[in-house]
Amino acid sequence: MFKGSFPALITPFKNGKVDDKGLKDLVEWHISMGSNGLVPVGTTGESPTLSHEEHMHVIKIVVDTAAGRIPVIAGAGSNNTTEAISLLQFAKDAGADAGLVVTPYYNKPTQRGLIAHYTALNEVGLPIIIYNIPSRSVIDMTPQTMGELAKLDNIIGVKDATGDVARVSLQRQYCGKDFIQLSGEDATAHGFNAQGGVGCISVTANVAPALCSALQAATAAGDFATALEIQDKLMPLHSAIFTEPGLVGAKYGMYLLGKDTGEVRLPLTELLPETKTLIKEGMRHAGLIN
């Protein structure tokens, strides 16, 4: 179920509020373009600036609109274990297929603390994808710790945003070959799969869902030459989108495709003109716009 290209879905806004119709349209578009699943209310979905009510509202819309056609991994992370349990329980009750749970940020738990955090979340009964992103959370879950958590019934995989493809092999060693490893970094997704990964939770897939899905399909078939050709098409866009915070770049790319997803919420701001130019050039290189 959890293989292939999973857009880390942006949250469209209109007049400062979640744009329900725009969100439903995005879900339908991604399904039609071949995305293999969706990940609402992650950081790319502006979860830090959504209220709890908005967060839950977005999950419900995405789950209901997808209607079982593709899996939904709902963002459910917090540096407060009680809050994370509440968000994960809501995702389960709403019908999400799994929860994406980031390592607790800012309060910097030890590896023992990480084990305690995810062990508590395991009791909710919804499959959990660990989100390991040291650049944002400031802590790094070791492969050994992940191996301990992989013994729990509901800890089924990881979104690995370390950018270190060697981690895939180490995590296979400690977690087993069936542990689901999804890349959290677009630029290394090709190499990540060559090491044993099975997909990518992708920012770029917001803008280039068909290409990202095709790359994942090629690697799954063992056709890494074709996948590399697609990667070459996408690489300038990957770089451009992340010149500034990726979700802002993704929303601008959507605008260029005629899908106006609205403003971003402060403290994020509109892109600089030179960044917009880079994204346009990257999209032209990928054949997404003329």
List C-alpha distances in Å: 184 to 56, 70, 81, 98, 200.
23, 19, 23, 16, 6
To the query of whether residue 131 is one of the catalytic residues in this protein, the response is yes
How many of the other CB atoms lie within 10 Å of CB of 110? 10
Q: Active-site residue among 60, 118, 131, 252?
A: 131
Asked if 31 and 67 count as a contact pair (C-beta separation under 8 A), the reply is no
Neighbours of 40 (CB within 10 A): 30
CA dihedral 208, 8, 58, 24 (to 10 degrees): 20
For residue 267, whether the previous peptide bond is cis, meaning omega lies within 30 degrees of 0, is yes
Query: Rounded to 10 degrees, what is the CA torsion of 164, 167, 169, 175?
Result: -150
Q: Which of 159, 233, 251, 276 is catalytic?
A: 159
Give the Å distances, CA to CA, from 49 to 46, 55, 75, 210, 224: 6, 9, 13, 29, 39
Helices vs strands, H then E, count in the chain: 12, 9
| 264 vs 268: CA distance, rounded Å | 6
Neighbouring C-alpha atoms within 13 Å toward the C-beta of 209: 21
Which residue type, as a one-letter code, is found at position 221?
A
Question: What kind and span of H or E run contains 5?
Answer: strand 4-7
Residues that are catalytic: 131, 159
